[in-house]
Amino acid sequence: MTDMQSRGAQAMPSMPRHVAIIMDGNNRWARARGLSSAQGHRAGVESLRAVIRRAAQRRIEALTLFAFSSENWRRPSAEVSALMELFMLVLKREVKKLHDNDIRLSIIGDRQRFSLSLQRQMARAEDLTQHNAGLHLIVAANYGGRWDIAGAARRLAQRVADGELAPAAIDEAALNDEICLHDEPPVDLCIRTSGEQRISNFLLWQLAYAEFVFAPELWPDFDAAAFDAAMDAFHRRQRRFGMTQQQIEVSGA
């Protein structure tokens, strides 16, 4: 039995080790209240704080948040500018709190398109928290699952071209080692808020065996209680990892 199957033999997992969240619905929340998109995104920061706090309380090992996708650059320029300003503000204001609570911050994605000042702020936040041992908070910014996989394939191809790697040696494990989050536990649970049921190019490789919860709340309405509800839903799932129910029942006997 493989390691993944061994994990699957636990039919009723009590707690996910790694949770990923697609934070969706800020714009719709704002429009329903006659507010600007920027105000909706600012309201979403409160949910961000609540969820990070709750994840840390529940001893989640890793929490990955989809903050800004590679496709989000297509949004109106005013909204993108407001998002960049908010990202900078949140990094400046929140990183000390994260550090004080033993939370480690990492940012994944292609940073080259961000301003140099924002790139420097990202690096400072990561440097400050890099030795913390509590929750690992991972923010996906200018991230796309296809970008992630293509980059991994390109790096493996370069190793083959350099004579460091034989093509026959490229397997799932080799590709996984080049993918973002390869040193984290596999994603156990992916939550998307706002009722939408798609993954929008988020962690395409890493979500292969994740459980999904599509929460009805718009992101600014998603709080600690909603997070707990998603944890409860995960607890009720039977994770098979390709096995049959009978195999799981025998393994758990």
Q: Is 101 a catalytic residue?
A: no
Task: Determine which one of 3, 72, 177, 201 is catalytic.
Answer: 72
Per-residue three-class SS string for 98-134: HHHCCCEEEEECCHHHCCHHHHHHHHHHHHHHCCCCC
CA-based nearest residue to 207, from 187, 235, 230: 187
**Which two tokens mark 205?**
């490789």
CA-based nearest residue to 35, from 70, 84, 82: 82
CA-based nearest residue to 244, from 11, 16, 12, 14: 11
Task: Determine which one of 3, 24, 101, 188 is catalytic.
Answer: 24
Q: Which residues contact 160 (CB under 8 A, 6 or more apart)?
A: 166, 167, 170
Q: Is 24 a catalytic residue?
A: yes
Which residues are known catalytic residues?
A: 24, 72
